[in-house]
Amino acid sequence: MGYTASQLLAMSQQQLDDLFSASAAGDIPNGEAEGTAIIASGTIFSPEIAALINIFTWKGKTFDGAHGTLTNRILAFGLNAIVAEVYKAASWFDDKDCIVLDYSKTSLVAKHVRDEIREISPGTYLGLVYWDKDRTIHFSLQFPSS
C-alpha cells in the first residue's frame, strides 16, 4: 500500500511511530524528493502547518546516493543548502536498521540534527528528526514514480 502525505498528516504520533518501527530501511534513495513536515500529527492543524512550512522554508531533500550525501531544498525558491552525510545504521528509536541523515560533520546550522528514514512504500520514506538525542517531529519524503 502506498502512503500519501495527506494520509501521514492524519495519523497520530503513535501510528507514525508504529509505521516507522514496522518498516524496513529500504535502499538509500537517489534524486529529488518532495518533503512534508509532520507537526501536531493527527490534529486538524497538521496539514496547515505542513503547507506553511513547505511554502516558506523547507521543500524537500535531494539525495546523491553515489556520494552518500544530500542537500535540503529550502526557502520559497528551492535553494539547495544544509548538507548531510547519508548512511545506514541502527535507529536511535528502536535499534533497527535505518537510513541516517547526519548533519553533525557537515553543517554549522544543523550540527545538532540527525534524521532517520525508512521506506514505508515504494518511493515514500517516513522520517524522524532528532535534536541531539531528543526526538522532535516526523516528516515524509516522496520521490517521483519512475
Please tell me whether the overall predicted TM-score, pTM, comes out greater than 0.85 for this model: yes
Tens of pLDDT, residues 43-57: 777 777 777 777 668
Residue 59's alpha-carbon distances to 54, 55, 71, 77, in angstroms, are: 5, 7, 11, 9
pLDDT digits (tens, 9 = 90+) for 89-117: 999 999 999 999 999 998 888 889 999 99
Give the chain's radius of gyration (CA, Å).
14
* Boundaries of every domain in the chain: 5-142
